[in-house]
Amino acid sequence: MLSKLNHPRKNTLPLPIGGLLGNGGAGDDPYHVQLGKHAFIGLSQKQIMMQPDGGFLEKWNILYQIGVSACSLELTIIANVCGEAKGLLLQFCSQTPKWLGKSFRVQFLFRR
């Protein structure tokens, strides 16, 4: 499911060294990079959800949008109580509105 970013920080400059997810990028804050008039890349704020066993899930969502078509990549890291990564979930969703004449939606979920 595609989601909108909450209160993204606007940036019209080129991506920082290291890219959107690198050390020079967004950090823990939401991030929005406008790419011309009709395209942007948005990175959601990091979400951490505690689990009953003491571990946690760390979730990021990257949204690419060109015109009315959108693509979302959600990355979830599953960590144990010591903070060691024990799993990775990748969910990919691409969507083009039906009124364009073609309805296209692809969704892929990878668990490890």
DSSP 8-72: PEEE-SPPPTT-SSSTTS-TTS-EEEE-SSSEEEEEPPPEEEE-TTS-EEEEEEEEEEETTEEEE
Amino acid making up residue 64? Y
pLDDT tens, position by position, 32-74? 788 888 888 888 878 899 999 999 999 988 888 888 888 888 8
* 94 domain-assigned: yes
Choose between 2 and 85: higher pLDDT: 85
* 2 domain-assigned: no
- Over pLDDT 90: what percentage of the chain? 12
pTM: 0.58
* 45 domain-assigned: yes
Angle, alpha carbons 73-74-76 (nearest 5°):
150
* 4 domain-assigned: no
Count up the domains in the chain and report the number. Answer: 1
Domain limits for position 33: 9-111
* 1 domain-assigned: no
